[in-house]
Chains A and B, each alone.
Chain A
Amino acid sequence: AQSVTQPDIHITVSEGASLELRCNYSYGATPYLFWYVQSPGQGLQLLLKYFSGDTLVQGIKGFEAEFKRSQSSFNLRKPSVHWSDAAEYFCAVGNNNNDMRFGAGTRLTVKP
């Protein structure tokens, strides 16, 4: 069965600084990988996804993620964080039938 680990429960960065959120997955076959963002009191919004092809994927709001098979990782990055990026971020792994498993999430705080 697939599983996801997000090692960092909480990260604080200064506005304008770069960001990297870590995600490690466990899955026997080629995974489908996702990053979602959740603002307080809201549902989850899809940031980006990886199925195949180019291992560097671009998403919305200036986010990107890189799939590294050798490290079983799918880390999320943003070169310059904005205050509005403060939220909780979830990594998820699935197969092709929408059977998805989510990580516990990383809460991002942005300092002025």
Chain B
Amino acid sequence: NAGVMQNPRHLVRRRGQEARLRCSPMKGHSHVYWYRQLPEEGLKFMVYLQKENIIDESGMPKERFSAEFPKEGPSILRIQQVVRGDSAAYFCASSQTQEVYNSPLHFGNGTRLTVT
């Protein structure tokens, strides 16, 4: 019974390169959320997706960041032209339904991005 799977666990990129973070939700979950955690800070909401749709991207930076959750395959968080300030832990969470009463979030172990 696999939980939320994120890969890679650690990702090192040089400034200007692209970073691709992948998230496979729990089986049966069609709702995916991405959060960013900076050192000494809590989780900051980035984006909420359902299959093939972006529902809420109010936490996404306007430039360089994008997310998708295709019909087949994992959700992808893509960061273009990375800068040092992008270094953080990125967590994915999934839920079975939109209602927290019925289906709380389940988190992956995160991808730690380091930009050199």
Whether A97 contacts B42 by the Cβ 8 Å rule is no
How far is it, in angstroms, between the C-alpha of A9 and the C-alpha of B109 when the chains are bound? 22
Give the residue name and chain of the B residue nearest to A45 (CB).
Answer: B107
Interface size of A as a range: 20 to 34
In the assembled complex, A84 has its CB within 8 A of some CB on chain B: no
> Which residues of chain A are within 8 angstroms of B101 by Cβ–Cβ distance?
32, 51, 96
Stretch of A13-21, A64-72, A73-81, A98-106 on the interface side: A98-106
B105 touching A104 by the CB < 8 A rule? Answer: no
> Would you call B25 an interface residue if the criterion is a C-beta within 8 Å of the partner chain's C-beta atoms?
no
Contact flag A105-B42 (CB < 8 Å), given A44-B91, A96-B100, A97-B98: yes
CB within 8 Å for A44 and B107 given contacts A98-B33, A99-B56, A102-B42: yes
Which residues on B are within 8 Å of A, measured CB to CB? 4, 6, 31, 33, 35, 40-45, 48, 56, 91, 93, 95, 98-101, 103-110
